[in-house]
Amino acid sequence: MGIVEAILLSVITAATPLVLAAIGELVTERSGVLNLGVEGMMIMGAVSAFAITQITGSPYLGMLAGVACGALFSQLFAFLTLTLVANQVATGLALTLLGIGVSGMMGESFLGMQGIKLQPIAIPLLADIPYLGPLLFRQDIIFYLSIAIVAGVHWFLFRSRAGLKLRAVGDSHASAHALGVSVIRTRYLAVMFGGACAGLAGAQLSLVYTPQWVENMSAGRGWIALALVVFSSWRPWRLVAGGYLFGAVSISQLHAQAFGLGIPSQLLSSLPYVATIVVLILISHNRRMTLINTPASLGKPFVPDR
Amino acid sequence: MPVEGVAANGHLLAVSNLTKLFGSFAACNGINLQIEQGEIHALLGENGAGKSTLVKMLFGVLAPTAGEILWQGQSVRIANPAAARKLGIGMVFQHFSLFEALTVAENIALSMDANISLAKVAEEASRLSHAYGLPLDPKAHVADLSVGERQRIEIVRALLQNPRLIILDEPTSVLTPQEADRLFETLYKLKAEGRSVLYISHRLEEVQRICDRATVLRHGKVTGACDPKAETPSSLARMMVGSDVAAVTAEGTSAKGEVQLEARHLTVPARTPFAVSLKNICLKVHAGEVLAIAGVAGNGQGELFDALSGEYPVGDDSAVQIRQRPVGTRNINARRLMGAGFVPEERHGHAAVSALPLSDNLVLARSRSDAKAFLGGGFLKIIRRDAVTSATKRISEAMDVRKSGEDPPAGSLSGGNLQKFIVGRELDRQPSVLVVNQPTWGVDAGAASRIRQALVDLAKAGSAVLVISQDLDEIFEVATEIAVISDGRLSDPYPAQELSREKIGLLMGGMYGKTEGTEGAHAH
């Protein structure tokens, strides 16, 4: 395996959790809910995936546990913000802090354990294509899922009736309610989907990226995912492009260190976050584009007047 | 396509003793109403009379507190809009329930209960819209459409359900007279097919023209049912308001004085994708004159107000002149200090902070322009409560503001009373220039006439008054000169006596007279 191939493989591995967490948040935000708890749901997914893998010996069961835990954890946010109409920003931040704390406690007995990695699945025929095969078709299931989910979300949002309703709820919840769309139910489901995706992203971290449990191992990826959603202007395929760009930036710092470039490592490891800020500035520059694509009722609580 | 008849003796819809309480306040109180098949039935009433609450109950948006709804003789409970549509009730809302980011076809598909493909919805919508004379492009984004076109979407959306009863909530409030005529044609067509229309309005002239019967509401109660064609406008108004409304007297307006407010080739690009850009606007308001700017909502009225008031200063200092001094780049307080007063369109959140008492709202607006009167303690700028309280009292008395207690929160006042206070707050300074946007929007007739009289009196006392309004009745009551704004362009001003409603309607639709030559250079 050549060095280029190795670098590209590591970019894919680094980008997959970003894409997954971001596509979930994209659906949540399209329904008009701003969930800043991505980081917390991700870390909860990571710890429960690792724990169940250790207990059962099956990384697939672990992966499912990560998904379930992320989805369940997100429903705490949904209950607080949708049913009790708590402030979404504050509740999202609280969810992140809670997730980091609870995951640290849950994972204490798993610290330092040797993890079980999700093995790559080679797709017959396609895996033998030179160059492309080993990169794209000898991957673990979570990578395949990430691409399938993005394609599915694109189809769902822009081709299906349910997706149309979800976009309508995000654009104007009062109008959607007047038409008889159940705003609260739609948002509960969207938040749950976001949680499940963040949980899966977390599972990728503890089962593929670095198969072990380290406290706070999501390391700010949830925040990058949030920035990615804005970067993509709420469009699924643009989000993949952005995810891989960020993946590349975060990997390039590792390789730059390995090559011994004379740049302080602290500066290099801050690159993804610097890139986040730069991209957000560039995006906000194009106001027209942002305004047209932003779900108009993003972050606004809905209380039916009954 | 005609619809089949109802059982011979039955009403299509009957409502008995329908009541809706919000807390202890009865928005609807024991309403009785019958609608026959194939009639256009008017629901008349002032703002706050309970019309909207009533139709929301009929359409399943609100649940009644008590009472019964009979549909074709059967008692029904309408739990949600889907249930209403299933019965055969369609609704066209006053504030459109449309999604700006979606296309026309997507908007229509959203209200269809059955699972029909988007392509099919687009095709059917396009067919229906042409059959009823309401042309629409199904692929257009709603954000790019005019208000009239948006209303067509709502109507087509309702028609796709093949309804027996169509409810229209203030449908002409956003239309030009020509667009309204077109709407009436559609309504006649629906009536001829045996469908019924519940037509909500406070425009008496329209109701007399197109409606077969009328039910009048006041304070949540039915105060009369009549044949509007057999009534006079003033007898209908009496039923709506409960007493005769004072007519505004505009006689004896003083002679034109100096130019007090002027816009010179004012051009402002749109700030947001949904805003309107102002194109080469020229206007002059002399002392002693009321210039009214007519136009359909969303043609640049808000943007013009922002530019004239200095809420958003413009780049060119000389484009706006107050008392013949350039102020284009100055902010709102600088302009107030030069003797101008401004009343924005929205009462809540823009002209007043709902949660704060009236006195605080007074200080917020005038602390800079009347610092001497309201602030003391030198650089500490301590609010002088006694002065503020007496000014609040003075304004309330001058404008007959009815409120509970000395100094209640702005949000607790009714729309009309709060509007009287907000206008009074500016009048109290005796400004030599007053710019006011939609002075009586959503205000009851009594308060509206009080406010209009105050504007006329101010001009008579020698001030220059600019009124931006959608209400033609209001414009003809107060204006000495009238200009029309359309798509960010302003027509030449015409003396109010020389301008007919038809002419205004043409101008609203963008048919300019003399200004045609200048506008080409600025068209985009």
Q: What is the pLDDT of residue B242?
A: 67
Q: Do A292 and B143 touch (CB under 8 A)?
A: yes
Q: Do B272 and A174 touch (CB under 8 A)?
A: no
Is the CB of residue B213 less than 8 Å from the CB of residue B226? yes
A187's CB contacts (< 8 A; 6+ apart) are A31, A32, A33, A78, A82, A169, A302
Q: What is the pLDDT of residue B346?
A: 82
Is the CB of residue B197 less than 8 Å from the CB of residue B40? yes
Is the CB of residue B256 less than 8 Å from the CB of residue B289? yes
| B498 DSSP assignment | G
Helices A221-231, A271-285: inter-axial angle, 10-degree rounding? 20
Q: What is the pLDDT of residue B77?
A: 92
Q: What is the pLDDT of residue A5?
A: 86
Whose tokens are 């028609």? That residue is B159
Q: Do A167 and B62 touch (CB under 8 A)?
A: no
Residue A107's alpha-carbon distances to A17, A214, A220, B43, B343, in angstroms, are 20, 8, 18, 66, 61
- Whether the pTM exceeds 0.80: the reply is no
Helices B177-192, B501-508: inter-axial angle, 10-degree rounding? 100
Whose tokens are 């309970």? That residue is B50
| B103 DSSP assignment | B
Q: Which two tokens stand for residue A304?
A: 């039916």
| CATH number, domain B259-522, options 3.30.365.10, 3.40.190.10, 3.40.50.300, 3.20.20.80 | 3.40.50.300
Helix (H, G, I), strand (E, B) or coil at B490: strand
Q: What is the pLDDT of residue B515?
A: 42
Q: Cα distance from B56 to chain A (closest Cα, Å)? A: 9
More confident residue, A253 or A73: A73
C-alpha to C-alpha distance for A233 and B135, rounded to whole angstroms:
32
| CATH number, domain A3-293, options 1.10.3470, 1.20.120, 2.60.40, 3.30.200 | 1.10.3470
Residue B195's alpha-carbon distances to B165, B167, B190, in angstroms, are 6, 11, 6
Cα A111 to chain centroid distance, Å, stands at 24
Mean pLDDT within A268-287 = 76
Q: Do A168 and B102 touch (CB under 8 A)?
A: yes
What is the SS3 string spanning B8-43?
CCCCCEEEEEEEEEECCEEEEEEEEEEECCCCEEEE
Looking at the complex, does the CB of residue B272 fall below 8 Å from at least one CB of chain A?
yes
Domain range list for chain A: 3-293
Q: What is the pLDDT of residue B520?
A: 38
Question: How does DSSP assign chain A, residue by residue?
Answer: --HHHHHHHHHHHHHHHHHHHHHHHHHHHHTT---TTHHHHHHHHHHHHHHHHHHHS-HHHHHHHHHHHHHHHHHHHHIIIIIS---HHHHHHHHHHHHHHHHHHHTGGGTTPPP-PPPPEEPTTGGGSTTHHHHHSEE-HHHHHHHHHHHHHHHHHHHSHHHHHHHHHHH-HHHHHHTT--HHHHHHHHHHHHHHHHHHHHHHIIIIIS-S--TTTTTTHHHHHHHHHHHTTT-HHHHHHHHHHHHHHHHHHHHHHHTT-SS-HHHHHTHHHHHHHHHHHHHHH-HHHHHHHS-TTTT-------
Q: What phi and psi, each to the nearest 5 degrees, are found at residue B337?
A: -65, -20
C-alpha to C-alpha distance for B47 and B347, rounded to whole angstroms:
15
Q: What phi and psi, each to the nearest 5 degrees, are found at residue A276?
A: -55, -50
Looking at the complex, does the CB of residue B97 fall below 8 Å from at least one CB of chain A?
yes
C-alpha to C-alpha distance for B475 and B441, rounded to whole angstroms:
12
**What is the β-pairing status of strands B340-343 and B433-437?**
parallel
A281's CB contacts (< 8 A; 6+ apart) are none
What is the interface size between A and B, counted as CB pairs within 8 Å? 60
B376's CB contacts (< 8 A; 6+ apart) are B382, B383, B384
C-alpha to C-alpha distance for B253 and B461, rounded to whole angstroms:
9
Q: Cα distance from B391 to chain A (closest Cα, Å)? A: 37
Whose tokens are 């977390």? That residue is A202
Q: What is the pLDDT of residue B517?
A: 38
Is the CB of residue A225 less than 8 Å from the CB of residue A37? no
Q: Do B82 and A180 touch (CB under 8 A)?
A: yes
C-alpha to C-alpha distance for A3 and A254, rounded to whole angstroms:
13
Tens place of pLDDT for every residue, chain B, 524 residues?
566 655 555 789 999 999 998 777 788 999 999 999 999 999 988 766 788 889 989 998 889 999 999 999 899 999 888 889 889 999 887 666 788 888 888 888 887 766 777 788 888 888 888 888 788 888 888 877 777 788 888 888 888 888 999 999 888 776 777 788 888 999 999 999 999 999 988 777 788 889 999 998 888 889 888 898 888 777 777 777 666 666 676 655 556 789 999 999 999 998 776 678 999 999 999 999 999 998 877 788 989 999 999 999 998 999 999 999 999 999 999 999 999 999 998 888 888 998 899 999 999 998 888 888 888 887 888 898 999 999 999 999 999 888 878 899 988 887 788 999 999 999 999 999 999 998 987 777 778 888 999 999 999 999 999 999 987 888 888 999 999 998 889 999 999 888 887 788 778 766 554 443 333 334 34
| Ramachandran area for residue B169 (φ above 0: left; ψ -120 to 50: alpha; else beta) | beta
Looking at the complex, does the CB of residue B110 fall below 8 Å from at least one CB of chain A?
yes
Chain A residues lying within 8 Å of B111, measured CB to CB: 179-180
Residue A45's alpha-carbon distances to A64, A81, A107, A247, B437, in angstroms, are 9, 21, 11, 20, 54
Q: Which of B81, B143, B272 sits opposite A180 (nearest CB)?
A: B81
C-alpha to C-alpha distance for B150 and B153, rounded to whole angstroms:
5
Q: Do A296 and B100 touch (CB under 8 A)?
A: yes
Q: Which of B85, B97, B110 sits opposite A165 (nearest CB)?
A: B110
Whose tokens are 């395929």? That residue is A237
Identity of residue B443: V
Is the CB of residue B490 less than 8 Å from the CB of residue B281? yes
- The string of pLDDT tens digits covering residues A142-181 is 999 999 999 999 999 998 889 999 999 999 998 888 777 8
Q: What is the pLDDT of residue A291?
A: 63
C-alpha to C-alpha distance for A74 and A24, rounded to whole angstroms:
11
Q: Which two tokens stand for residue A158?
A: 């822009």
ipTM of the complex: 0.76
Q: Which of A161, A167, A292 sits opposite B273 (nearest CB)?
A: A292
Looking at the complex, does the CB of residue B62 fall below 8 Å from at least one CB of chain A?
yes
Looking at the complex, does the CB of residue B382 fall below 8 Å from at least one CB of chain A?
no
Is the CB of residue A137 less than 8 Å from the CB of residue A123? yes
Chain A residues lying within 8 Å of B272, measured CB to CB: 287-288, 291
Superfamily for B13-88+162-241? P-loop containing nucleotide triphosphate hydrolases (3.40.50.300)
Q: Do B102 and A292 touch (CB under 8 A)?
A: no
Chain A residues lying within 8 Å of B106, measured CB to CB: 164
Q: Do A296 and B82 touch (CB under 8 A)?
A: no
Q: What is the pLDDT of residue A24?
A: 98
Is the CB of residue A196 less than 8 Å from the CB of residue A41? no
Cα B73 to chain centroid distance, Å, stands at 36
Looking at the complex, does the CB of residue B162 fall below 8 Å from at least one CB of chain A?
no
Q: Do A306 and B115 touch (CB under 8 A)?
A: no
Structural element, H or E, at residue B121: helix B118-131
More confident residue, A29 or B447: A29
Q: Which two tokens stand for residue B190?
A: 């629906």
Q: Where in chain B is the domain with CATH 3.40.50.300?
A: 13-88+162-241, 259-522
Looking at the complex, does the CB of residue A30 fall below 8 Å from at least one CB of chain B?
no
Interface test with B, best of A157, A160, A175 (most B CBs within 10 A): A175
Is the CB of residue B28 less than 8 Å from the CB of residue B19? yes
Identity of residue B56: K
Q: What is the pLDDT of residue B271?
A: 79
Q: Cα distance from A167 to chain B (closest Cα, Å)? A: 8
A86-93 long-range contacts, CB within 8 A, separation 24+: A87/A301, A88/A33, A88/A34, A88/A35, A88/A36, A88/A299, A88/A301, A89/A34, A89/A36, A89/A299, A91/A37, A92/A34, A92/A35, A92/A36, A92/A37, A93/A36, A93/A37
Closest CA to B222 of B47, B75, B45: B45
Chain A residues lying within 8 Å of B25, measured CB to CB: none
